[in-house]
Amino acid sequence: MMKIDILTLFPQMFSGVLGESILKKASEKQIVKYNLVNFRDYADNKHGTVDDYPYGGGAGMVLKPQPIFDAVTDLKEKSHSTNPKVILLCPQGERYTQRKAEQLACEDHLIFICGHYEGYDERIRQYLVTDEISIGDYVLTGGELAAMVVIDSVVRLIPKVLGNNESHVNDSFSTRLLEHPHYTRPAEFRGMKVPETLLSGNHRLIDDWREKESLRRTFLRRPDLLKELELTDKQKKWLQEFEKQ
Ligand code: ADE
The answer to whether residue 170 scores a pLDDT higher than 80 is no
Cα–Cα nearest to 38, from 83, 16, 61, 70? 70
CA of 129 to the centre of ligand 1 (A): 15
Find the mean pLDDT for residues 12-27. Answer: 98
Binding site membership of 135 for ligand 1 (Cβ less than 6 Å)? yes
Query: Is the model's pTM score more than 0.85?
Result: yes
Cα–Cα nearest to 181, from 143, 217, 219? 217
State the DSSP string of 4-70: EEEEES-GGGGHHHHTSHHHHHHHHTTSEEEEEEEGGGG-SSTT---EEPPTT--SS-EE-HHHHHH
| 84 is known as an active-site residue | no
| 230 is known as an active-site residue | no
The predicted pLDDT at position 80 comes to 80
Binding site membership of 146 for ligand 1 (Cβ less than 6 Å)? yes
Burial status of residue 190 (CB atoms within 10 A of its CB: 0-12, 13-18, 19 or more): exposed
What residue numbers does the annotated binding site for S-adenosyl-L-methionine cover? 115, 135-140
Of 13, 134, 153, best ligand 1 pocket probe by most atoms within 8 Å of the beta carbon: 134
Atom of ligand 1 nearest to the CA of 90: 9
**pLDDT tier at 200, thresholds 50, 70, 90:** very high
Cα–Cα nearest to 8, from 120, 85, 132, 113? 113
Q: Give the domains, in start order, of the chain with CATH numbers.
A: 2-155 (3.40.1280.10), 188-244 (1.10.1270.20)
Binding site membership of 8 for ligand 1 (Cβ less than 6 Å)? no
Q: How high does pLDDT run on average in the chain?
A: 95
CA gap 96, 113 in Å, rounded: 16
Taking only the tens place, the pLDDT of each residue in 50-88 is: 999 999 999 999 999 999 999 999 999 999 878 999 999
CA gap 245, 147 in Å, rounded: 42
